[in-house]
Amino acid sequence: MKNRVGRIIVAILALAAFGFYAYRYEQTHWHSADVEAWGPATGLHPEGFEQGVVMNQEPEAPIQMEYAPAPTEQPAAPAPTEQPVVETVPTEQPLRFDLSEWQYMLVNGDHSIDQYEPENLVYLNMTADETDFQTSFNPNRIAVDARIAQPLMDMALACKAAGLPVYLSSGYRSYADQAANFTRVCQNNGITDGKDSNGHYITMPAGCSEHQTGLCCDITDYYQATKNSSLDDIPTLVWLRENCADYGFIWRFPSDKSDVTGVMGESWHFRYVGQDAAHYIMDNHLTLEEFWQQFGDSASV
Ligand SMILES: [Zn+2]
């Protein structure tokens, strides 16, 4: 009996030893041989291992390398392109003007209108004692573009209503008239280019006179054989400077803007541009040239 019991114990011990050995073998050899073969198919161990390896070695470093430069480069790149854009926007433009409209026509020593003629002329009484508009040529009246006849007459009547005399001395002049005018003034002053000693026009070459548009008028109190700076402060012209914008007219050649207009100061020359533009120009003491620079295509000025 003792031997049988002893053999049983030995057998149990042997089985236990084999079992323990088998368990240990499984523990130590399981991964190395099989994990790549079937592990990925199960999706269990490989993920765990890959995550462990990848997360510890790669993810954080490359992400920082890629994103770190970005925050510093992104603001730097757009900045230079945005700044110039911002600088062109801030100019205050409470009003917008379509400078292709007829009342903004620009004529000066650099902008000839060549043989331009107004489509419709109207003939006005010079002293505004008669307020009718004649459409047939009348040498005893002045001609203007029909589109400014009403505002010009309204302004003349308002000036007279303020107790001041008005004399509409010169309106539309044709290309031929201006050519003759230019020759005569040049001869009288011993010049050939129509300019005074400061380089400012005292008479414009044909095609370059605003009078050829029919959109302006020389206005004094009475007939004046000679127009010069002695007229600057006569009450009629003072009143006109203060009130012309209400009728759509501007003081076209201010004495202190000769370098801009190229024309000597002419306190008697008023140009129609419409009420909105006239108020803007007179309120800001601008010239038509400066108005074009602000609201037009600078390349065409
Ligand atoms: Zn004039």
Tally the C-alpha atoms within 13 A of residue 200's C-alpha that lie toward its C-beta: 16
pLDDT digits (tens, 9 = 90+) for 86-138: 555 555 556 789 999 999 999 999 999 999 999 999 999 999 999 999 999 99
* 8 plus 110 within the same structural domain: no
User: Quick one: tokens of 220?
Assistant: 């004094």
- 112 within some domain: yes
Q: End of a domain among 88, 120, 155?
A: 88
217 Cα: distance to centroid of ligand 1 (angstroms): 6
210 Cα: distance to centroid of ligand 1 (angstroms): 7
Find the domain containing 43 and state its range: 2-88
* 161 plus 257 within the same structural domain: yes
Residues 6+ apart with CB under 8 A from 202: 185, 189, 194, 195, 196, 264
pLDDT at 60: 44
pLDDT digits (tens, 9 = 90+) for 132-163: 999 999 999 999 999 999 999 999 999 999 99
User: Quick one: tokens of 114?
Assistant: 């060549």
105 Cα: distance to centroid of ligand 1 (angstroms): 15
* 84 plus 109 within the same structural domain: no
pTM (predicted TM-score)? 0.68
pLDDT digits (tens, 9 = 90+) for 10-68: 555 555 555 555 455 445 444 433 333 333 333 333 333 333 333 444 444 443 433 34
* 52 plus 15 within the same structural domain: yes
Residue in the structure block whose two tokens are 């999706």: 43
* 25 plus 111 within the same structural domain: no
* 121 plus 45 within the same structural domain: no
pLDDT at 69: 41
221 Cα: distance to centroid of ligand 1 (angstroms): 15
* 43 plus 164 within the same structural domain: no
288 Cα: distance to centroid of ligand 1 (angstroms): 14
Q: End of a domain among 35, 59, 88?
A: 88
